[in-house]
Amino acid sequence: MRFFSDNAAPVCPQVMAAIADANTLDTAYDGDAWSAKLDGAMSDLFGRDVACLWVATGTAANSLALAALCPPYGAIVCHRDAHIQNDECGAPEFFTHGAKLLLAEGDGAKLSAAAIAALLDATRDDVHQTQPHAISITNATEYGRVYSPADVAAIGKVAKARGLKLHMDGARFANAVAHLGCAPADLTWRAGVDALSFGFVKNGGMSAEALVFFDPEMAKATRYRRKRAGHLLSKGRYLAAQILAMLEGDLWLANARAANAAAAMLAEAAGDRLVHSVEANEIFLRVSPQEAASLRVEGFDFYDWGPGEARLVTAWNHAPEDVRPLADAIRAL
């Protein structure tokens, strides 16, 4: 059983069916019937008028968002362990034309409003320093921690007070919402978020992520940037259909709950071995090289995460019976 990545999981059946349903003649790019429904479906979900653009990757969603929120000569505050800093090969710099990422600290890749404020205070307001224009947080974080609506609102308050925009990398937004049980609105625009990368691929989708602007006006330039970045797929209906299928009947939440439940089962088994508390679908645990080897011998795959640590990721398709053997094996170490 592989616990490498939620990207390794297959596509869930409802999404496959939606793709098959979309396999008909329609207008190219985003002029089709499916794409036309996206704004409405997302507006319903978030309880306000939003603009929603499909893109094929989370990296594109994040980078397009940052390009909308920060000029080339500006800076974006993020966590030292943020995906946008470490795992996107400089995509934010590419899309923003060279904006700088300013790195803040916090346990579990989670930033506090205070840490952000301290970093901002340390920046001189003159032309010699790149001036912060935006903040980007990841929810759930790269270490599987979750920002609550109150956490986000505190950061949103700092952003607003300083005239900065706020982006949320929601590659695992579904897992965060599933964990919190809150309204999507409470975790985003009501807390001051301007743009959300709303991930579906890690959650059972194939190739569609949603970039949501809570002020539709902000999406205008992004439509040009998306085309210019080669991200306006010519048969966009197959992407829109995936997102609509995910929203239908809250499939996105059901899938995320399944992944979170699988992670919780592993977390319970791991006990003191946990490096971070498990709030979404990632588990980081302390294992010796010998222990890791023995788990692998038993057929479980995962990433080593530095010396003496391992990362396991659960997915929408990890049923309890799939996960229990690993939980037992961890407990038995």
Among positions 202-241, residues that touch its own copies (CB under 8 A) are 202, 206-207, 221, 223-235, 238-239
What distance in Å separates the CA atoms of residue 42 and residue 110, rounded to the nearest whole number? 26
What distance in Å separates the CA atoms of residue 19 and residue 101, rounded to the nearest whole number? 37
Chosen residue from 69, 116, 131, 251 binding its own copies by CB under 8 A: 131
Mind giving me the DSSP string for 284-298?
A: EEE--HHHHHHHHHT
Query: Which of residues 20 and 150 has its CB atom nearest to its own copies in the complex?
Result: 20
Query: Which of residues 206 and 269 has its CB atom nearest to its own copies in the complex?
Result: 206
Total residues contacting its own copies (rule CB under 8 A)? Answer: 71
What does the angle CA 135 – CA 210 – CA 112 come to, to the nearest 5 degrees? 25
- Amino acid identity for residue 229 in this structure: A
What distance in Å separates the CA atoms of residue 81 and residue 142, rounded to the nearest whole number? 7
CB of 78 to its own copies, least distance (A): 13
The residue written with tokens 């996105």 in the block is 252
Chosen residue from 14, 48, 71, 157 binding its own copies by CB under 8 A: 71
What distance in Å separates the CA atoms of residue 229 and residue 235, rounded to the nearest whole number? 16
Query: Which of residues 132 and 156 has its CB atom nearest to its own copies in the complex?
Result: 132
Query: Which of residues 8 and 293 has its CB atom nearest to its own copies in the complex?
Result: 8
Regarding 11 and contact with its own copies (CB under 8 A), the answer is yes
Query: Which of residues 10 and 47 has its CB atom nearest to its own copies in the complex?
Result: 10
Chosen residue from 18, 50, 88, 154 binding its own copies by CB under 8 A: 88
Regarding 24 and contact with its own copies (CB under 8 A), the answer is yes
CB of 272 to its own copies, least distance (A): 27
Chosen residue from 21, 29, 33, 331 binding its own copies by CB under 8 A: 29
Residue 105 near residue 79, CB atoms below 8 Å = yes
Regarding 93 and contact with its own copies (CB under 8 A), the answer is yes
Regarding 89 and contact with its own copies (CB under 8 A), the answer is yes
Q: What is the CA radius of gyration of the chain?
A: 20
The pairs formed by 112-119 with CB atoms below 8 angstroms and a separation of 24 or more are 112/151, 112/154, 112/155, 113/151, 113/154, 113/155, 113/157, 113/158, 116/77, 116/155, 116/158, 117/158, 119/77
Regarding 4 and contact with its own copies (CB under 8 A), the answer is yes
Chosen residue from 14, 43, 86, 112 binding its own copies by CB under 8 A: 86
Residue length of the chain: 333
What distance in Å separates the CA atoms of residue 12 and residue 147, rounded to the nearest whole number? 27
Chosen residue from 75, 84, 120, 196 binding its own copies by CB under 8 A: 75
CB of 37 to its own copies, least distance (A): 18
CB of 186 to its own copies, least distance (A): 28
What distance in Å separates the CA atoms of residue 259 and residue 316, rounded to the nearest whole number? 5
CB of 316 to its own copies, least distance (A): 12
CB of 150 to its own copies, least distance (A): 31
Query: Which of residues 23 and 277 has its CB atom nearest to its own copies in the complex?
Result: 23
CB of 58 to its own copies, least distance (A): 7
Among positions 261-300, residues that touch its own copies (CB under 8 A) are none
Query: Which of residues 271 and 325 has its CB atom nearest to its own copies in the complex?
Result: 325
Regarding 59 and contact with its own copies (CB under 8 A), the answer is yes
Strand segments (E) across the chain:
51-55, 74-79, 100-104, 131-138, 165-170, 195-198, 209-213, 282-286, 303-304, 309-313
